Amino acid sequence: MIFTHLIAAALAFAPTADENPTPRGITGSVTISHSGDPLQAKLDQDLSSPLLVRMTDLSGADPTSKHRYRIDFIGAVAGSFDLRSMITHRDGTPATEIAAIPVKIVSELPEKFGSDLFIVSAKPLFARSYYRVILGLIAAIWIAIPIFVFVRRVIRNRPAPPAPPPPPAPTLADQLRPLVEGAMNQGLSVPDQARLELLLMAFWSERRNFAALQPAEAIEKLRTDPEASTLLLAIERWLHARGGASPQAAQGLSQLLDPYRGHAPIAVAEVSQ
Amino acid sequence: MTTGNTTSNNMSSSTSHPATVPAVGACPFADTVRTHVGKTVVGQQVVVERVMIALLTGGHLLLEGVPGIAKTLIVQSVAKAIDLKFSRVQFTIDLLPSDILGSEILDQKTSEFRIHRGPIFTNLLLADEINRASPKVQSALLEAMQERKVSIGDTSHVLPAPFLVIATQNPIEQSGTFELPEAQLDRFLLRHRFSYPSAEEETEVVRRSLKLKLKRQGDGAVPMSAFDAIEDGAKLHIRDLSEAMAAVQNVHVSEVFLRDCVELVHMTRKHPDIELGCSPRAALALVHASRARAFLHGREYTIPEDFFALAEDVILHRMRLSYEALAMGRKSTDVLTEMLRSLA
């Protein structure tokens, strides 16, 4: 047996080692001759191993002749490897009698990209490990959403607390009073003078039920109204005529405005009647 | 041809304007015009007043109303009352700017170009249905209104003084028309809206028309129209108009009145229903038109009644309601009334 092995070793041709480096992931091949026991590639090779090897017997069915094998290999990691370590006899014993078959796997990528084809940087999702938790979360969300919607609707539909009643709008009398005071003291600004005139018109329009009329028509009627016109025309002269704001005119106006001072408008109207 | 018989066309007065006629004698100028126009036209005192306001302030007037309510008749009557040169242009889609302004014509006898002046060289131009002309023609007219001069060829020609454009629009039939944009509407001092005459006025119109006789031409004859009945003898002249314009300049405008006008214009810019408020030109128009109205009513100073009466004609064509307000059915007149009521 030992003799046979020795002969086989002697007969084993030095492998035609591929002097050229083989890129990663690309199939390289080496042809060897061997006259001893038939050889085969190592069984149960791990797919994630740095090197995968397959052997093909090229010599045919005659077991007495010298065998020629083609060894195909694919490197996953850059580096130098000996294919002999991946070759065994048919009985699984290592083929130590054959010469070393050195091959070199090189990476085409720059160095910083590493040399292992199977390194995955991202961590895999272990959904299978936490599926109970995940299902529980989904169920919780499924229940929480309708509850949220329901609660929100209830809160929204709840009647708002009644707002405090707004303060009553100042009546015409309230607005007129300070302006009349100011006019009698001759201390009204131009905007206040304009407001006084327009408020008096509004007051008399209300008094005469002219709300349905256009403002221009109402004013036209007021200017000919026997009661309203006395004051309104005096105000017109006082505010608009050239030299209308003389002391005499102001004195006359004070007398006309006096009934409006400190009285409610209705009372003023009654007084003037 | 029979003259002297008064005729009329139908007239109307917008119900929103107070149709106050000032006491006779308050303003002789206005009385003379009213009397002259009244021989031909029934009622329509407000429109006559608006035409006179436009004349006295040098502004321009846009009249809006359905056909057949005597727009042309009023304008022609006023022109004849003051002895003004009058032209009328019917605006159509194929009108060219040179049809209004004039153009250079090659005189074949002298082989030189001579200027042919268009109808715009007048005192009172009636631009009938202005919205039917293309925007190019509209802008040519409106530019002349603004600058009071026109360029024909290389020469600039000053328009006669006074120069007033009274444009009309039909508010109903809008197909094939070019609506005047806001910037051009703003150049009209006033926009007055006609409505139909009252039953009494219309009865009087018909009654007067029955008195019209025939106009004989040789052996033939045609029925007289209201235009034939306009009295030719002018009682006033351009000099009288110039004096009246000078008198208008002397009408006093108080600070309080100015505040009212400016406040109203400012309100149009703040009102939630108004998308486009009035320009400062509106305040100017309101004050100047009020001054003319005060003169026509025989006053030496303006009063709130003036701007209340004129607000609709001055303000409404210068503001635009928002889409939301229009969708809610709001009307410009309602919004303006609301603003006038809340002015105090």
To test the contact with chain B by mutation, choose from A172, A204, A214 the residue with the greatest count of B C-beta atoms within 10 A, namely A214
Q: From residue A223, how far is each of A200, A228, A232, B16 by CA, in Å?
A: 12, 7, 7, 18
| Amino acid (one-letter) located at A207 | R
> What integer pLDDT is reported at residue A245 of this predicted model?
67
CATH for the stretch A2-113: 2.60.40.10
Is residue B215 within 8 A of residue B11, CB to CB? The reply is no
Q: Which of A215, A242, A244 sits opposite B337 (nearest CB)?
A: A215
- Within chain B, all domains assigned CATH 1.10.8.80 are found at 250-344
In the block, tokens 């002269």 appear at A237
Is residue B75 within 8 A of residue B126, CB to CB? The reply is yes
A-chain CB neighbours of B337 within 8 Å are 214-215
- Within chain B, all domains assigned CATH 3.40.50.300 are found at 1-247
Beta bridge partners of B149: B158
Q: From residue B199, how far is each of A214, B11, B13, B202, B332 by CA, in Å?
A: 22, 11, 12, 5, 27
> What integer pLDDT is reported at residue A251 of this predicted model?
66
Residue-level pLDDT, tens digit, chain A, 273 residues: 444 444 444 444 444 444 578 888 899 999 888 888 888 898 888 888 888 999 988 877 666 667 888 999 998 888 899 999 899 988 888 888 888 899 999 888 777 776 666 666 666 666 667 888 889 999 999 999 999 999 999 888 888 788 888 877 777 777 777 777 777 666 778 888 888 888 888 888 888 888 888 888 888 888 888 888 888 888 888 888 887 666 666 666 776 776 666 554 444 444 343
DSSP string, A141-170: HHHHHHHHHHHHHHHHHSPPPPPPPPPPPP
Q: Do A241 and B300 touch (CB under 8 A)?
A: yes
B-chain CB neighbours of A202 within 8 Å are 341, 344
**Count of Cβ atoms closer than 10 Å to residue B116 Cβ:** 12
Beta bridge partners of B151: B156
Query: Does the beta carbon of A26 lie under 8 angstroms from any beta carbon of chain B?
Result: no
| Cα B145 from Cα B143, distance rounded (Å) | 5
Q: Which residues of B touch A (CB under 8 A)?
A: 16-18, 20, 252, 254-257, 259-260, 263, 300-305, 308-309, 311-312, 337, 340-341, 343-344
pLDDT digits (tens, 9 = 90+) for B187-210: 899 999 887 888 888 898 888 888
The C-alpha of B259 sits at a distance from chain A's nearest C-alpha, in angstroms, of 7
A-chain CB neighbours of B14 within 8 Å are none
Mean pLDDT to the nearest integer, B64-70: 84
**How far does chain B reach from its first CA to its final CA, in angstroms?**
57
> What integer pLDDT is reported at residue B262 of this predicted model?
93
Query: Model-level pTM?
Result: 0.66
On whether the B1-247 domain is CATH 3.90.660.10, my answer is no
List % helix, strand, coil for chain A (3-state, nearest 5): 45, 15, 40
| Cα B218 from Cα A97, distance rounded (Å) | 148
| Cα B296 from Cα B22, distance rounded (Å) | 8
Reference B180, options B156, B145, B208, B225; nearest CA is: B145
Mean pLDDT to the nearest integer, B92-113: 87
To test the contact with chain B by mutation, choose from A198, A222, A235 the residue with the greatest count of B C-beta atoms within 10 A, namely A198
A252: Cβ–Cβ under 8 A, 6 or more apart, which residues? A234
Reference B87, options B145, B164, B29; nearest CA is: B164
Q: Do B302 and A190 touch (CB under 8 A)?
A: no
Handedness of CA A208, A214, A218, A219 (dihedral sign): positive
Is residue B340 within 8 A of residue B311, CB to CB? The reply is yes
B250-344 fold: Helicase, Ruva Protein; domain 3 (1.10.8)
Q: Do B255 and A190 touch (CB under 8 A)?
A: yes
- A110: exposed, middle or buried (Cβ count in 10 Å: 0-12, 13-18, 19+): exposed
Q: Do A240 and B341 touch (CB under 8 A)?
A: no
- Compute the half-sphere exposure of residue A105: CA atoms within 13 Å on the CB side of its CA: 24
What is the predicted ipTM? 0.76
Q: Do B260 and A195 touch (CB under 8 A)?
A: no
Q: Could you state, in order of their start, the residue ranges of all structural domains in chain A? A: 2-113, 172-272
Query: Does the beta carbon of A174 lie under 8 angstroms from any beta carbon of chain B?
Result: no
| Amino acid (one-letter) located at B191 | R
pLDDT higher for B317 or A262?
B317
The C-alpha of A251 sits at a distance from chain B's nearest C-alpha, in angstroms, of 20
| Cα B67 from Cα B240, distance rounded (Å) | 32
Handedness of CA A46, A51, A54, A55 (dihedral sign): negative
A-chain CB neighbours of B252 within 8 Å are 240-242
Q: Give the dihedral of Cα atoms B323, B325, B329, B335; nearest 10 deg.
A: -130
- A151: exposed, middle or buried (Cβ count in 10 Å: 0-12, 13-18, 19+): exposed
> What integer pLDDT is reported at residue A247 of this predicted model?
65
pLDDT band at B314 (very low <50, low <70, confident <90, very high): very high
